[in-house]
Structure 1
Amino acid sequence: MDYFYLAAAVGAYAAGLLCQSVGARRSAPSGAGVRGLTRLIGDPVYIVGFACQVTGFTLAFLARAHLPLYLVQGAVCASVALTSLLGFVLLRRRTSASELAVFGVMASAIVLLLVVSRPSNSYEIGGLALVGLVTVAFVVAGATWFASRSAGAVPLACLAGVSFAILAVAGRPVASHVGFGLLADPLAWLVVVTAVVGQLQMGLALARGSTTLVGSVMDAVTLLAASSVGFLLLGDRVGDGLAVWVIVGLAACVGGVIAMAAIEKSQVRAMSKDVAARAGRLQTYVPEG
């Protein structure tokens, strides 16, 4: 059942990211701060995307109960490539052979991680580690205001990645004992807070940059940070003698999302040159007098 949760989460995340991108582009101006955020959360398409993200979050949360973070976050990373594919199918966006190749590489990487991973229950997070997670969460939330004052999407995408990494780390032990007792569990509240903060950071980033760029940066940060902490603190396991293949799989996932961002950047540059060339050809000389 955990693997079903994971597969469904990837689909929900991809659909949500696509809808949020459409909503953010038409509702929030590139220099937006609090006012832009207010417009953003009132856009119906963005709300649908947010609902898909919540669904994906819930399914990924359930998958983390027994699956290691490197597998869950690696699969979530692949949702960026799936988003590009959905954009081609549903919105008729251009999808190049390079993008399809990256999608194939990332799909292969997830299969590799599935083969080498070993399900396990998470270790409990001690008091000192909890204080550290809460401190980082507060710092990242506070940094959002400063990052939102710039026009770039990358700082906000990085902050969203850190927020979602904290969510993944805190959510792994919480998912193992779901029940009414979670209301008194500080880790559960940390999951909720970082989920909301991460969504807001991602929304602001999407208003400034493309879906692929924001998703690539965000997922790469989350994957590397959460996977590292999962091995160090949560007891994530891998098959005997197969650790090197985890590194290969994670590297392929990170490389895939970076490649997707690079491909889109080159496409935007090519389109800009094409538009400029057409404009030059359409210019008409009008003689004076």
Structure 2
Amino acid sequence: MDYFYLAAAVGAYAAGLLCQSVGARRSAPSGAGVRGLTRLIGDPVYIVGFACQVTGFALAFLARAHLPLYLVQGAVCASVALASLLGFVLLRRRTSASELAVFGVMASAIVLLLVVSRPSNSYEIGGLALVGLVTVAFVVAGATWFASRSAGAVPLACLAGVSFAILAVAGRPVASHVGFGLLADPLAWLVVVTAVVGQLQMGLALARGSTTLVGSVMDAVTLLAASSVGFLLLGDRVGDGLAVWVIVGLAACVGGVIAMAAIEKSQVRAMSKDVAARAGRLQTYVPEG
């Protein structure tokens, strides 16, 4: 059942990322700052995307109960490529052979991580580690205001990635003992807070950059940070003698999302040159009179 949760989470995240991108682009234009969030709340497409993200979060949360973070976050990374594929199928966006190749590489990386991973329950997070997580979450949340004053999407996407990494780390032990007792669990509240903050940061980033760029940066940061902490603090396991293949799989996932962002950047540059060339031809055309 854990693997079903994981597969469904990837689909939900991809659909949510696509919808949120469409909603953010038309409701919060570049440079809107924090005020743009009020416009996003009233956009129905963005709300659908947010609902998909919440669904994906819940499914990934359940999957983390017994699956290691490097597998869960690696699979979530693949949602960026899947979102690009959905954009091609549903919105008629162009998809190049390079994008399809990246999608194939990332799918192969997830299969590799599935083979080498070993399900396990998480270790409990001690008081000192909890204080560290809360401190980092507080700093990241405070940095949102400064990042929102810049025009670029990358700083906000990085902050969202750290927020979601904290969510993943805190959510791993919480997922293994779901019940009413979570109301008194500080880790559970940390999960809720970082989920909200991460969504706000991602919404602001999507208003400044593309789905692929924001998703790539965010997921790469989350994957590396959460996977490292999972090995160090949570007791995530890997098959005997197979640790090197985890590194290969994670590198392929990170490389894949970075490649997706690079491909899209080159496509945007090519489209801009094409538009400029057409405008130049129109300006030099003199109708016969």
Class of the TM-score when normalised by the shorter of the 2 chains:
over 0.9
Deviation at 1:35, TM superposition (A): 1.8
Distance (Å, rounded) in 2 between the aligned partners of 1:240 and 1:208: 44
TM-score (norm 2): 0.98
Distance (Å, rounded) in 1 between the aligned partners of 2:151 and 2:135: 27
Deviations 1:31-75 (A, max 9, x none): 112321100122110000000000000000000000000000000
Identify if the C-alpha distance between structure 1 residues 274 and 243 changes in structure 2 by more than 3 Å, giving closer, same or farther. same
Deviations 1:97-135 (A, max 9, x none): 000000000000000000000000000000000000000
Distance (Å, rounded) in 2 between the aligned partners of 1:281 and 1:288: 15
Identify if the C-alpha distance between structure 1 residues 276 and 235 changes in structure 2 by more than 3 Å, giving closer, same or farther. same
Deviations 1:13-43 (A, max 9, x none): 0000000000000000211123211001221
Deviation at 1:96, TM superposition (A): 0.1
Deviation at 1:287, TM superposition (A): 11
Deviation at 1:285, TM superposition (A): 5.9
The aligned residue for residue 100 of structure 1 is 100
Deviation at 1:275, TM superposition (A): 0.6
Asked if the contact 2:34–2:204 (Cα under 8 Å) also holds between the matched residues in 1, the reply is no
Distance (Å, rounded) in 2 between the aligned partners of 1:195 and 1:257: 22
Distance (Å, rounded) in 1 between the aligned partners of 2:285 and 2:130: 69
Deviation at 1:216, TM superposition (A): 0.1
Identify if the C-alpha distance between structure 1 residues 182 and 98 changes in structure 2 by more than 3 Å, giving closer, same or farther. same
Identify if the C-alpha distance between structure 1 residues 288 and 110 changes in structure 2 by more than 3 Å, giving closer, same or farther. closer
Deviation at 1:284, TM superposition (A): 3.7
Distance (Å, rounded) in 2 between the aligned partners of 1:132 and 1:39: 34
Distance (Å, rounded) in 1 between the aligned partners of 2:172 and 2:265: 35
Distance (Å, rounded) in 1 between the aligned partners of 2:50 and 2:4: 21
Distance (Å, rounded) in 2 between the aligned partners of 1:274 and 1:285: 17
Deviations 1:165-189 (A, max 9, x none): 0000000000000000000000000
Percent identity between the two aligned chains: 99
Question: RMSD in angstroms over aligned alpha carbons?
Answer: 1.4
Distance (Å, rounded) in 1 between the aligned partners of 2:24 and 2:142: 22
Distance (Å, rounded) in 2 between the aligned partners of 1:231 and 1:61: 18
Distance (Å, rounded) in 2 between the aligned partners of 1:286 and 1:243: 67
Deviation at 1:193, TM superposition (A): 0.2
Asked if the contact 2:171–2:187 (Cα under 8 Å) also holds between the matched residues in 1, the reply is yes
Asked if the contact 2:137–2:166 (Cα under 8 Å) also holds between the matched residues in 1, the reply is yes
Distance (Å, rounded) in 1 between the aligned partners of 2:231 and 2:152: 32
Distance (Å, rounded) in 1 between the aligned partners of 2:2 and 2:286: 69
Distance (Å, rounded) in 2 between the aligned partners of 1:36 and 1:285: 41
Distance (Å, rounded) in 1 between the aligned partners of 2:30 and 2:253: 29
Deviation at 1:191, TM superposition (A): 0.1
The aligned residue for residue 149 of structure 2 is 149
TM-score (norm 1): 0.98
Asked if the contact 2:118–2:237 (Cα under 8 Å) also holds between the matched residues in 1, the reply is yes
Distance (Å, rounded) in 1 between the aligned partners of 2:58 and 2:288: 68
Distance (Å, rounded) in 2 between the aligned partners of 1:288 and 1:21: 45
Gap runs ≥5 in structure 1? none
Distance (Å, rounded) in 2 between the aligned partners of 1:64 and 1:230: 11
SS class of match (1:80) = helix
Aligned residues: 289
Asked if the contact 2:25–2:206 (Cα under 8 Å) also holds between the matched residues in 1, the reply is yes
Distance (Å, rounded) in 1 between the aligned partners of 2:55 and 2:288: 64
Of 82-91 and 275-284, the range deviating more from structure 2 = 275-284
Deviations 1:211-262 (A, max 9, x none): 0000000000000000000000000000000000000000000000000000
Distance (Å, rounded) in 1 between the aligned partners of 2:78 and 2:173: 24
SS class of match (1:120) = coil
Distance (Å, rounded) in 1 between the aligned partners of 2:137 and 2:275: 43
